[in-house]
Amino acid sequence: MTSMDGVPDPTAGAGSPPATAPATHLDGGLVRRWIAELAQRLRAAEARLTELDAAIGDADHGTNMTRGARAAMAALAEHDEDTAAARLVAAVGHSLSRSVGGASGPLYGTWFNALGRSLPPELPATAMELATALGAALDAVQQLGAAELGDKTMVDALAPAARQAREVAGSGADLAGMLRIAAGAAEDGAVATIPLRARRGRASYLGARSEGHQDPGATSAAIVLDALRDAADA
């Protein structure tokens, strides 16, 4: 193992498997670890997501997301081991669009699809390429859902994550370091939805009664990014 300037890394033992080093690129293997981690996280968070959606929605977000994760895992299993990251991410998007009900299916389907379409089609993505793709995926979701930052939706997690990713990738952060910052921004954005009044989606029908509850879509979006961060750090 060598560091970026070609100097051997003294902390890397001769026998240390590459998978234990933080990821420098988004490749097919990292996409698979991401979605496996996400499936596990969503199962663990299913009751909490349902509870959050029960407060300001229709209590189906937990089951919708775990169903989507199972479909995404099944879709990945249909692809060869050497399939490129871009294609795998797009396949996840298709499976979510097909399997997840409510508004979150099309929105997450669109996010993953746009992310996959924006990644390099064959080669593993660099931190900057992933940051650019996160921006494109955000744009696609905003185009579909017409939500702005502060509307108390998944955009409140995805937008700060994309902005931070772009910023730190631009200042030379590696992929894993960039994802730590981006996932942190997504989590902060999700928590910041608590006092907000919903202006999009089913929760907006509640008006002022939507205040004081964390948005379930922003919460699951933060989980999506934290699962990627965790997979990249592994």
Q: Quick check: 215 binds Mg ion (CB under 5 A)? A: no
DSSP conformation class of 81: T
Cβ 102 to Mg ion, closest distance in Å? 5
Instruction: For the beta carbon of residue 204, count every other beta carbon within 10 angstroms.
Output: 16
Q: Quick check: 205 binds Mg ion (CB under 5 A)? A: no
Stretch that binds Mg ion, among 3-11, 96-104, 118-126, 160-168 (CB under 5 A): 96-104
Of 22 and 212, which has the nearer Cβ to Mg ion? 212
Cβ 92 to Mg ion, closest distance in Å? 20
Closest CA to 64 of 43, 90, 85: 43
**Of 44, 58, 98, 148, which one interacts with Mg ion (CB under 5 A)?**
58
In degrees to the nearest 10, what's the CA dihedral of 111, 64, 79, 129? 20
Name 219's Cβ contacts closer than 8 Å, sequence gap at least 6: 45, 48, 49, 52, 157, 190
Q: Quick check: 67 binds Mg ion (CB under 5 A)? A: no
Q: Quick check: 68 binds Mg ion (CB under 5 A)? A: no
Q: Quick check: 230 binds Mg ion (CB under 5 A)? A: no
Cβ 151 to Mg ion, closest distance in Å? 16
Name 70's Cβ contacts closer than 8 Å, sequence gap at least 6: 39, 99
Cβ 117 to Mg ion, closest distance in Å? 27
Stretch that binds Mg ion, among 94-102, 144-152, 164-172, 218-226 (CB under 5 A): 94-102
Integer Cα distance of 141 and 109 in angstroms: 9
Task: Supply 208's token pair.
Answer: 């002022």
**Of 25, 32, 61, 213, which one interacts with Mg ion (CB under 5 A)?**
61
Task: Supply 44's token pair.
Answer: 């663990």
Burial class (CB in 10 A: 0-12, 13-18, 19+), 120: middle
Of 109 and 124, which has the nearer Cβ to Mg ion? 109
Cβ 164 to Mg ion, closest distance in Å? 27
**Of 28, 57, 145, 217, which one interacts with Mg ion (CB under 5 A)?**
57
Task: Supply 184's token pair.
Answer: 């942190």
Instruction: For the beta carbon of residue 80, count every other beta carbon within 10 angstroms.
Output: 7
Integer Cα distance of 126 and 49 in angstroms: 32
Q: Quick check: 60 binds Mg ion (CB under 5 A)? A: yes
Cβ 143 to Mg ion, closest distance in Å? 21
Q: Quick check: 28 binds Mg ion (CB under 5 A)? A: no
Q: Quick check: 53 binds Mg ion (CB under 5 A)? A: yes
Q: Where does this chain bind Mg ion (CB under 5 A)?
A: 53, 57-58, 60-61, 102
